[in-house]
Structure 1
């Protein structure tokens, strides 16, 4: 039986007011998920979870506290409110907290247009098991694959409702279906592994298990017998699978929380060049069938499309209400929150400009260098942008892949790297970060 999330959030708000809160907001999430793991053609693990979770944030003057529970009984909600008020009384004052102005709240919320929920019937555990088995069989059919580390399929659905004492009340539903596989080739110290997977809102959009299994196997075989290149300065081509990490570092640097703390290498770059002049970085939280889409943020403000970087120029920070007030600006409607925590700035659907060149075109342009297909670890100095990461991939000579590479470290200055990006045209449009392969000139590779 489905719970009335709107009524639950209103009951939480009423309990908070009775306990003495000056203002409050409440979040309710009702979710279910199923995951299946297969190994050797037989079921290895099956999990199903269902839960209703409640989160309450109370404001007492300029003090606040957040509390959560997975019990929806009225007495539990009363206890939550009482404890939250007691916690808020002990919390330090924050002059920037507060709910949104009622005039700024999202109205006439059009959830269906975003297509965040697939109305198709929930797949049975047997359906998911069959998907995982098909992916495993396809991978094992590729000569050279020794075994499968993991073949998995899953489904999830959730309903979300947010309400606040400023009058906001709204909710929406999400669904997802996924298939993934990790393949292994070689033995002992020569063992290599790689993966592939897909996750979509609509089940009919999901790639076939055979495609995923075969792709994971081929990627794994391509990593066998790796070498380490000579230490030196080379161009580096970040494959589309990992290129979004570069944009992720930029997004972290322009997050309002980092800017408000003064702990970001981008703190003085507003209105200045951060990407090549030909590139723009946009955010569209209302893109159809995208996992990052939402009609409103975690403070009830209507989401909207915006240009974060336009023609290479940084146009603004990513802000929730508190960081916006601290910086003397307006929220960009980017507040996100979990059940047990208050709002923080976060980005939704991101897209970087693409070119008309393929990844092969960029390899030909780079001549000799490294195509990075996987990365491990990260050392990014948030104040200076100094960049260092472990990587593996394929060594390119005269524009042609020659041999696999592993155990190499890439180092450079992230602000300078971002200014030299050359994009390909291979970004997957359904991801929440639509970023193509990216070529960066003159990075230092530490190899042999």
Structure 2
């Protein structure tokens, strides 16, 4: 799928050297203007997105975005301004605007640049994580891939009657960041994807599903045919969906949806929620939150990882760590401001978490999806969630859901229009097993997650 012809490559309009010069000049100007400290970042994003529907080209979009942002400190007062104009005159105006905002902003003792000791100042230690793989592709090539993907779905089975379309996206970006404490950092990255959403059945019996793949390197993408076939199989499996009677049963979260369970945990133990006292996991450091066979690992240095980075968005060092150890929380997710508010150490999470992997110490190599169904015996497999329905303050969890009903370890029919409910505290403690069917969604990896019991609201 990778076409290396240079004439088709997306090309940045600005070089890293140009960005470095602009950042250095802006920081120097900020200090000259009267700032006591400053940080700056400049970035450029370019991409191509093509969509087709029912074997015809539907849309071609090209994006070219750029941004320069500057934060200045005047004592403990902070101001921020940004622009998409990279001329020196515009950047000078942005520096002045940020300085003026800081002058009239209330002082905040917790504001400011990261501590010098926390910064990744040694540029020789900024790892090359193999994040940049530009896709040499033009609109015609992308359209052909999307058409091939959709055709694989439409032609898979005569019961596939419609399509909501297929799309191909090729995106790449680069940035330079720096501050007046001496940090300078830069790297380029890319992300590419192929997706399709077929519809099975007719009339009131129509069912839709989708499949996709997203990678840093286009050479790592699944083939358009395999993506189309998988999407068709998923749509067909949903034919004959119906409600189930209201009950309380084990619930098996599809591996892709398990990322949401990780995300809710990360939000609850992140600085903003913690210092605002708005987390259901307040003061959970050192406490058992998950079942005692559960670990959560974080690694910022995974080559080609979707959440890999040699430093965080503030220039702070990052490190691999075990966030949850045998069910016990061993670390929060803190940036400079939240760390100061909480009186804790910066964990290098300006910009969010890095590659997270949820795993169970009980998982065996043979614990594939079929094995997880047998472990569950009777209950609900969830493959789609609807609505937000997660209360970050109380942990209450209530989501519309669709999936499959299981009896004696076998899927017996598809399910729709039900609601699953519980509380995340109980759900985390009641994780019975995690499958070996690991799937990476964004920066989170997990197998299917079996919860011992949840309320399922269906027909009376």
Q: Per the shorter chain, which TM-score range?
A: over 0.9
What is the alpha-carbon distance in structure 1 between the residues aligned to residue 66 and residue 137 of structure 2? 21
Paired position in structure 2 for 1:423: 434
Alpha carbons of structure 1 residues 15 and 187: separation in structure 2 relative to 1, 3 Å: farther
Contact 2:256 2:440 in 1 (8 A): no
Correspondence 1:344-355 to 2 at 5 A? 346-354=352-360, 355=363
**Mean Cα deviation higher: 88-97 or 267-276:** 88-97
1:301 aligns with 2:316: yes
Q: In the alignment, which of 69, 74, 77 is matched to residue 55 of structure 1?
A: 69
What is the alpha-carbon distance in structure 1 between the residues aligned to residue 185 and residue 390 of structure 2? 38
Paired position in structure 2 for 1:71: 85
What is the alpha-carbon distance in structure 2 between the residues aligned to residue 417 and residue 10 of structure 1? 49
Paired position in structure 1 for 2:95: 81
Q: CA deviation at 1:121?
A: 5.3
Q: CA deviation at 1:65?
A: 2.0
Contact 1:290 1:430 in 2 (8 A): no
What is the alpha-carbon distance in structure 2 between the residues aligned to residue 61 and residue 413 of structure 1? 44
Contact 1:111 1:172 in 2 (8 A): no
Paired position in structure 2 for 1:98: 112
What is the alpha-carbon distance in structure 2 between the residues aligned to residue 314 and residue 253 of structure 1? 12
Alpha carbons of structure 1 residues 293 and 443: separation in structure 2 relative to 1, 3 Å: same
Paired position in structure 2 for 1:117: 132
The DSSP-based 3-state class of the residue aligned with 2:211 is strand
Paired position in structure 2 for 1:312: 327
Q: Unpaired segments of 5 or more residues in structure 2? A: 1-12
Q: CA deviation at 1:175?
A: 1.1
Q: CA deviation at 1:435?
A: 1.1
**Mean Cα deviation higher: 90-99 or 399-408:** 90-99
Can you list the C-alpha shifts for 1:196-236, whole angstroms capped at 9, x where unaligned? 00111111110000011111111111112211111010100
What is the alpha-carbon distance in structure 1 between the residues aligned to residue 287 and residue 46 of structure 2? 45
1:222 aligns with 2:237: yes
Paired position in structure 2 for 1:343: none
Q: Unpaired segments of 5 or more residues in structure 1? A: 337-345
Q: CA deviation at 1:430?
A: 8.0
1:332 aligns with 2:347: yes
The DSSP-based 3-state class of the residue aligned with 1:243 is helix
What is the alpha-carbon distance in structure 2 between the residues aligned to residue 399 and residue 108 of structure 1? 54
TM norm structure 2: 0.92
What is the alpha-carbon distance in structure 2 between the residues aligned to residue 387 and residue 124 of structure 1? 44
Q: In the alignment, which of 407, 412, 436 is matched to residue 402 of structure 1?
A: 412
- Runs of 4+ aligned structure 1 residues displaced above 6 Å come to none
What is the alpha-carbon distance in structure 2 between the residues aligned to residue 160 and residue 293 of structure 1? 15
In the alignment of these two chains, the number of paired residues is 438
What is the alpha-carbon distance in structure 2 between the residues aligned to residue 112 and residue 138 of structure 1? 40
